[in-house]
Amino acid sequence: MTHSGRTAQRNPGDTSALAEKRRSATIGAFFAEFVDMFDIYLPTVILTPALSYFQPAQMSPGEAGILTSLVFVTTLIGRPVGAAVFGALADRIGRRKTTITSVSGFGVITLLIAFVPGHATIGIASYWLLIVLRFLDGVCLGGGYTGALPLAMEYSEKHKRGLLGGVILAAFPLAYIVINLIGLVSFAIFPLDGPGSPYAVWGWRIPFVIGALLAGLLALYYVRSVSESEIWEKSEKTSSPLGTVFRGASGRSFLQVFTMMTGFWLTQNLVTLYLPTAVLHTQLKFTGTQLTLTLLLAYACLVFSYIAAGVISQRIGRRRLFLILGPLIATVGSALLWVLVTGTSLPIGVVMLVVCAFSVLVTAPWGAVLPYINERFHTDVRASGFGLGFSASVIIPSFYAFFLEGLGQFMPYVLTPLVLLFVGGVLATIGAAAGPETKDVDFHADVAGTAK
């Protein structure tokens, strides 16, 4: 008898219990994504102004730049490592247990970071301690969504996966908004003026403690309220999910997802990393207040656009959505970015509108990537496939600054991000075209079928 047959024979109590499990899994996944993104933005928004606290006074600007980049790069490197480790665990021992372990891990590590002493106390060891902890934090962060998000997708009703995927991923821009608001309050309360100022010594620590508490509450929620995936419990287990995901049909799915997501990460980085610093701050000379307000408005738009993209993908198909958005990003997105990089005389209101339009268009595919990647892998390797397909693909795009420098040797530097955006959109389109439509994939089926 099929799983769907058993479901049809459930009594009303069983149906109510299943609905509660679905609700709890969705809430858990939403907050797992929120806490994950909150922790990722902590060093970017909160710690960066206080990094002089960990540096020797006589350090050259070049040395300071290298050490600063290591704080962020090590987190980035840790994420695919965590996706591989915890993804395999989620496929072997369960999504719920893995989520609890990884979330508890980055909660403890985030709390430890809040108590790292400065250079005046332990010398340059303070910086290396910070870097090591951020790497370990990245490993656990890479595992946080690897278990929680597939669990929620496996509980979701097939016709609602697009909506729920968009809602869950909307936690990313929401986390960015919250962390920036906390940053604004922190900067207003604690003076920042050199490594001995109140903010540099201890003001930055409070948001890290908040992040650790959020992780602790999330882990407790999974312990008390979230049930293990019934689909995973009923599935056949593979002894080596990490090896299986790179072989046969799963291997072809991974390569296709990796190609598509590399393109989407490349375009995403131009929105989240390049646009605020190189365009708005450096080229357009936005003040701190103008920059913050512009980004908060753009990310508020993303909360709704992610959900809309997820709903649209459920109606027209994930693949078709990607095949529409990829070329639009390469063409219309490049045109909008050209307006921004050359718009030094534009009124600030116009710039803000263009930033919102550009951000919505370029990041719209993310509203559908969560259900799509999960639908591309069979249950026995779904967590590994999702985790690695989502995280490993960020590595190449993370070197976007080097790509821009290289392109700058052959063309005006101001135009190099347009080339990169075009390449990212084309790469994402090629990756999406190489895969099947997935919105009708049945997670209850014993055979992967189109999921592979």
Which residue is associated with the tokens 């597939």?
150
> What predicted TM-score, i.e. pTM, was given to this entire model?
0.89
For residue 45, what is the DSSP state?
I
pLDDT at 14: 61
Residue 280 host element (H or E): none
Q: How far apart are CA 34 and CA 178, in angstroms?
A: 10
Q: Tens of pLDDT along 77-128?
A: 898 999 999 999 999 999 999 999 999 999 999 999 999 998 888 988 988 8
pLDDT greater than 60 at residue 7: no
- Greatest Cα pair distance, the chain, in angstroms, is 73
Which range, 10-14, 241-245, 324-328, has the best average confidence (pLDDT)?
324-328
444 to 12, 62, 92: CA distances (angstroms): 21, 55, 18
- Kindly list the structural domains of the chain, giving each domain's residue range(s) and its CATH number in brackets, ordered by start: 19-234 (1.20.1250.20), 236-452 (1.20.1250.20)
Q: Tens of pLDDT along 141-169?
A: 888 889 999 999 999 999 999 999 999 99
Exposed/middle/buried for 218, CB within 10 Å: 0-12, 13-18, 19+?
Answer: buried
**Pick from 59-68, 272-281, 321-330: least confident:** 59-68
pLDDT at 61: 67
